[in-house]
């Protein structure tokens, strides 16, 4: 069988030209990972939670590149807005909001109202924005509000941070909507400084990959879906150790490394991956810049704290 080493649904891609295969490799696609699915399961549970006095909230946290944004984007896609023709209004069960660069209330409500497709915000006072957000969130029947990059909160002064946490508390209390905050460990500590919020927030941590069964399964999946024409040999201790040493088990780095190694395997005609594939300079180069930016961000975070 031609390309019998690949999953049936992926064999056709191995027949594409080199450039088309490289293009395929570089496209974004959701890959079902055990931790990501477990996180989604928790998020789904919030959608069906009935309104009650204290709504449960969730902190999704993990190092940079662990896949938090991927998970919350997937969650919001699974609950995409729908237009109800009978009632003549949109429903937005999951509303995904990016944190503004600073935790200022006006900037936050601007992001929130923009996510609600509200235009002409410039003339509104914070008070009116708050009222409008409340009104619209109820109208579009938002069941879960998701705030990504909650770390940006740390760019504010301690006072701004406290005020911002009040805003979150107000939203969840007043609207009876669970709030999901995605961010790094530093952000988790900042949110939990508010004793009222600490009580409400459950936490789900995305742990780095380690040399276990889940990693073997991930590598087996890559072997079965990457559009390479020969059988890869990633199921070796050496390949796993090399991969973990280069990526520290961070999901985004693993994906980048595999992508770069697969592109190199197409271009140099090797057409398969093994432990040696991770040695080439051009394969590990993208990781160097990722380390540099992660390090810089951490240093900025520390300076603010």
Ligand X SMILES: Nc1ncnc2c1ncn2[C@@H]1O[C@H](COP(=O)(O)OP(=O)(O)OP(=O)(O)O)[C@@H](O)[C@H]1O
Name the binder of 142 from ligand X, Mg ion, none, CB < 5-8 A by kind.
Answer: none
- One character per residue 97-116, x = contact with Mg ion (rule: CB under 5 A): --------------------
Q: Residue 277 corresponds to which tokens in the numbers above?
A: 């594939």
In the complex with ligand X, the residue whose CB is nearer, 167 or 251, is: 251
In the complex with ligand X, the residue whose CB is nearer, 63 or 167, is: 63
> Site residues for Mg ion, window 9-68 (CB under 5 A)?
68
- Measured distance CA(171)–CA(174) in Å, rounded: 5
Name the binder of 65 from ligand X, Mg ion, none, CB < 5-8 A by kind.
Answer: ligand X
Name the binder of 227 from Mg ion, ligand X, none, CB < 5-8 A by kind.
Answer: none
In the complex with Mg ion, the residue whose CB is nearer, 68 or 130, is: 68
In the complex with Mg ion, the residue whose CB is nearer, 99 or 197, is: 99
Q: In the bound complex, what is the minimum distance in angstroms from residue 69's beta carbon to Mg ion? A: 3
> Site residues for Mg ion, window 133-192 (CB under 5 A)?
none
Name the binder of 33 from Mg ion, ligand X, none, CB < 5-8 A by kind.
Answer: ligand X
Q: In the bound complex, what is the minimum distance in angstroms from residue 74's beta carbon to ligand X? A: 7
Do the Cβ atoms of 191 and 232 come closer than 8 Å? no
In the complex with ligand X, the residue whose CB is nearer, 66 or 116, is: 66
Q: Where are the alpha helices (DSSP H) in the chain?
A: 11-14, 18-26, 34-47, 68-78, 105-115, 126-139, 158-175, 185-191, 195-200, 213-225, 237-247, 251-267, 281-304
Whose CA is closest to 175, among 221, 144, 208, 219? 144
- Crossing angle between the packed helical segments 237-247 and 213-225, to the nearest 10 degrees: 100
Give how far Cα 61 sits from Cα of 21, 39, 53, 159, 292, Å.
34, 10, 25, 23, 21
Q: In the bound complex, what is the minimum distance in angstroms from residue 147's beta carbon to ligand X? A: 12
In the complex with ligand X, the residue whose CB is nearer, 68 or 143, is: 68
Q: Residue 18 corresponds to which tokens in the numbers above?
A: 């080199």
How many residues sit in the footprint of Mg ion (CB under 5 A)?
A: 2
- Measured distance CA(113)–CA(124) in Å, rounded: 11
179-183 sheet: strands from edge to edge: 94-98, 144-148, 179-183, 57-61, 201-205
Do the Cβ atoms of 144 and 180 come closer than 8 Å? yes
Name the binder of 255 from ligand X, Mg ion, none, CB < 5-8 A by kind.
Answer: ligand X
In the complex with Mg ion, the residue whose CB is nearer, 64 or 284, is: 64
Do the Cβ atoms of 3 and 223 come closer than 8 Å? no
Q: In the bound complex, what is the minimum distance in angstroms from residue 237's beta carbon to Mg ion? A: 32
Among 69, 90, 98, 173, which residue interacts with Mg ion (rule: CB under 5 A)? 69
Q: In the bound complex, what is the minimum distance in angstroms from residue 4's beta carbon to ligand X? A: 25
Q: Which residues bind ligand X (CB under 6 A)?
A: 30-31, 33, 36, 62, 64-70, 149, 184, 251-252, 255
Binding positions for Mg ion, rule: CB under 5 A: 68-69
């Amino acid at each position: 069988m031609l390309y019998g080493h690949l999953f049936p649904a992926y064999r056709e891609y191995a027949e594409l030209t080199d450039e088309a295969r490289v293009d395929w490799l570089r496209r974004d696609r959701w890959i079902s990972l055990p931790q990501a699915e477990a996180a989604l399961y928790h998020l789904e549970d919030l959608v069906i939670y009935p309104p009650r006095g204290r709504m449960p909230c969730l902190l999704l946290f993990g190092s940079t590149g662990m896949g938090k944004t991927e998970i919350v984007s997937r969650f919001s896609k699974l609950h995409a807005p729908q237009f109800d023709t009978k009632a003549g209004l949109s429903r937005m069960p999951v509303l995904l909001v990016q944190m503004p660069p600073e935790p200022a209330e006006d900037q936050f409500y601007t992001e929130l109202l923009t996510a609600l497709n509200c235009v002409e915000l410039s003339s509104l006072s914070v008070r009116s924005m708050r009222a409008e957000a409340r009104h619209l969130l109820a109208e579009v029947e938002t069941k879960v509000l998701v705030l990504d990059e909650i770390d940006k909160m740390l760019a504010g002064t301690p006072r701004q941070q406290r005020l911002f946490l009040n805003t979150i508390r107000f939203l969840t209390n007043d609207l009876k909507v669970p709030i999901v905050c995605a961010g790094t460990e530093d952000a988790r500590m900042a949110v939990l400084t508010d004793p009222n919020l600490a009580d409400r927030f459950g936490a789900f941590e995305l742990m780095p990959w380690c040399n276990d069964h889940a990693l073997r399964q991930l590598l087996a999946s890559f072997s079965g879906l990457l559009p390479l024409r020969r059988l890869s040999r990633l199921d070796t201790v050496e390949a796993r150790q090399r991969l973990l040493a280069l990526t520290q088990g961070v999901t985004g780095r693993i994906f980048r490394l595999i992508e770069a190694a697969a592109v190199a395997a197409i271009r140099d005609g090797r057409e398969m991956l093994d432990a040696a594939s991770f040695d080439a300079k051009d394969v590990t180069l993208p990781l160097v810049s990722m380390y540099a930016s992660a390090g810089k961000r951490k240093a900025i975070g520390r300076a603010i704290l």
